[in-house]
Amino acid sequence: MGEQEHDGAQRKSDRSALKLAGMAVLMFGFAFALVPLYDVFCDITGINGKTSDVAAQESQEVDLSRTVTVEFVAYINPGLGWDFTPEMKEITVHPGETHTIAYRATNNTTMDSVGQAVPSVSPGLAAQYLNKIECFCFNRQPLEAGKDAELPLVFYVDPAIPDDINTLTLAYTLFSAKTEPVTQ
C-alpha cells in the first residue's frame, strides 16, 4: 500500500509541476502580448492621448460660435542637454481655424545631437480632434552644439470636437534620437 501511495503522490506532484509550468508560459505570453493589445485597445477607444503622425489637410469649416483653449507643454528626457519650450503657453481658437505656433529648442551641449519630439494630448479623447498640418514631431530634429532652432507647429482643432471639451493640452516630450550609421 505504501508503494501505491508513493506513486499517486508522485503523479499528483508531476501534474502540479506541469500546471505551474503551463501557467508560467501563459503568463509570459500574456506579458509579451500586453503592449500590442494595449495599443489596439487605445486605438479602438480613442483614450490614448496619441495624436496622428500623418499631416492633416486644412479644415474647410470654422465654428465661430465657440472657442477652445489649447495649452502647450514641453518636457525633456533627462540627459539630452537641450532646453525645449513653447513660445506661448496657450491660445484660444475657434474650431477649424488654422494656427501656427512654435517651440524653441537649444542644444546646450558641446556635441551635435538629434532630438525627436513625441506628442500627447489630454484629455485623451481630445487627441483625435487635434489636427497637425505641419509639425516638427513628424521628423527628427538635428541641432548643432550650442545652437538653437525654432520648431513650427501648424494645427487646428476639429469642429467636431465635443462641446464638453473646452480646453486641451498638447504636450511634447523631447527624446534623444540616436543617428543610424549610413551603410552603403
pLDDT one-digit tens code per residue, 49-106: 455 455 555 666 888 999 999 999 999 988 889 999 999 999 999 999 999 999 999 9
Convert the pLDDT of each residue in 36-46 to its tens digit: 555 555 554 44
| Length reported for the chain | 184
Distance CA 170, CA 126 (A): 10
Task: Determine the pLDDT at residue 183.
Answer: 46
Residue type, 39: D
Is the pLDDT at 145 greater than 70? The verdict is yes
Cα Rg of the chain, angstroms? 25
Distance CA 177, CA 179 (A): 6
Is the pLDDT at 2 greater than 70? The verdict is no
Domain positions in the chain: 1-45, 68-176
Task: Determine the pLDDT at residue 37.
Answer: 55
Residue type, 6: H
**Cα torsion for 106, 78, 116, 111, to the nearest 10°?**
50
Distance CA 69, CA 153 (A): 16
- What class does CATH assign to 68-176? mainly beta
Distance CA 127, CA 119 (A): 10
